[in-house]
Amino acid sequence: MSEIRWGMLVDLRRCIGCHTCTIACKCEFAVPLGGNKTWVKTIEKGQFPNVSRSFLPSFCNNCENPICVRNCPTQATFKRADGIVMQDPHRCIGCKYCMASCPYDVRYVDPLKKVVQKCTWCHHRLDAGVEPACVGSCPSSALIFGDVNDPESKISKMLSANAIQVLKTDKDTHPHVFYVAADEVVMRATGGANRKEKPVWWKWLLGGLLFNKKEE
């Protein structure tokens, strides 16, 4: 296997939850408010005094079998030979069907450009021979980026030597963001306290008198 296939490995034993990758990404692409190409999920498990806190840096998984590429009607999103799932801002019509298809919620509509955007592992930096912005800025070297087809690369060695998990294996997308030491509960936790619930119109209509119990 001589062709390059990029992959990202997140060593959660090293992640300190500092959000530097988020900031580096925001700076690299000037990502406006309302969108995130990368972010760090923060999850607490257990009850006092038996608790733990985990961080889960989230990126586009640049899947081997990307459903967004299959479903994009204009071929605006496509997979490069090195595995990166790209998004052509000039081709995209903003139908948002890729966002509806993506099981990881990593795509967003850029409020200024009015097209769908996503993490492309800094393809412009990779093409110039530089690692992605998040990887370069990670202070604890929790992010390891490289060619998974090259047996001598650090990521290949890490992948063989550690217990690896990926997100939502049942979706048959074959993600290429790998997590070391990820907790099962953390990997499948969705939602969160800061999720803005859309007001349900009929609850608002009934004044919340009849339906005020919170559904989990």
Partner 1 sequence: MEPDVNIIYNVFHAPPLEFPIAIYFYLTGLSAGSFLLSTLAYGFGLKKFKPIGLLGVRMAIVLLILAPINLIVDLEQPMRFWHLFPYLNMKSPITYGTFLLSLYPLNAIIYSYFMGKGNMKMTKIFGFIGIPLAISVHGYTGFILALSKARALWNTALMPVLFLISAMVSGIAMMMIAIAIKQKYFAEDKHVHDDLIKDMGQILSVTIFFDLFLILCDLLVLQTADTEAHHSAMLILTGDFSLLFLWIEVVLGSLIPLIFLNIPAFKKKIGFAVTAAVLVMIGILAMRYVMVIGGQSIPLS
| 152-181 positions binding partner 1, by CB under 8 A | 170-171
Q: Which residues contact 21 (CB under 8 A, 6 or more apart)?
A: 38, 40, 57, 133, 134, 135, 137, 138, 143
**Binding residue for partner 1, selected from 39, 79, 136, 166, defined by CB under 8 A:** 39
Residue that is written with structure tokens 């306290």 in the block: 193
Here the tokens at position 88 are 């052509």
**Binding residue for partner 1, selected from 96, 124, 154, 174, defined by CB under 8 A:** 96
Q: Does 92 bind partner 1 (CB under 8 A)?
A: yes
Q: Which is nearer to partner 1, 86 or 159 (CB)?
A: 86
Q: Which is nearer to partner 1, 130 or 185 (CB)?
A: 185
**Binding residue for partner 1, selected from 44, 151, 154, 174, defined by CB under 8 A:** 44
**Binding residue for partner 1, selected from 128, 129, 195, 209, defined by CB under 8 A:** 195
Count of residues near partner 1 by CB under 8 A: 62
Other beta carbons less than 10 A from residue 42's beta carbon = 13
Q: Are 120 and 86 in contact (CB under 8 A)?
A: yes
The full DSSP string for 77-95 is EEE-TTS-EEE-TTT----
Q: Which is nearer to partner 1, 14 or 171 (CB)?
A: 171
Here the tokens at position 16 are 């300190």
Closest distance between partner 1 and the C-beta of residue 53, in Å? 8
Here the tokens at position 97 are 């069907």
Q: Does 207 bind partner 1 (CB under 8 A)?
A: no
Strand ranges inside the chain, DSSP E: 6-11, 39-47, 50-58, 77-79, 85-87, 108-109, 116-117, 143-147, 164-165, 177-180
Closest distance between partner 1 and the C-beta of residue 48, in Å? 10
Q: Which is nearer to partner 1, 98 or 155 (CB)?
A: 98
| 105-124 positions binding partner 1, by CB under 8 A | 105-109, 114-116
**Cα within 13 Å of Cα(171), Cβ side:** 18
The contact set with partner 1 (CB under 8 A) reads 34-36, 39-47, 53, 58, 67, 70-76, 91-97, 99-109, 114-116, 170-171, 185-186, 188-196, 198, 200, 202-203, 211, 215
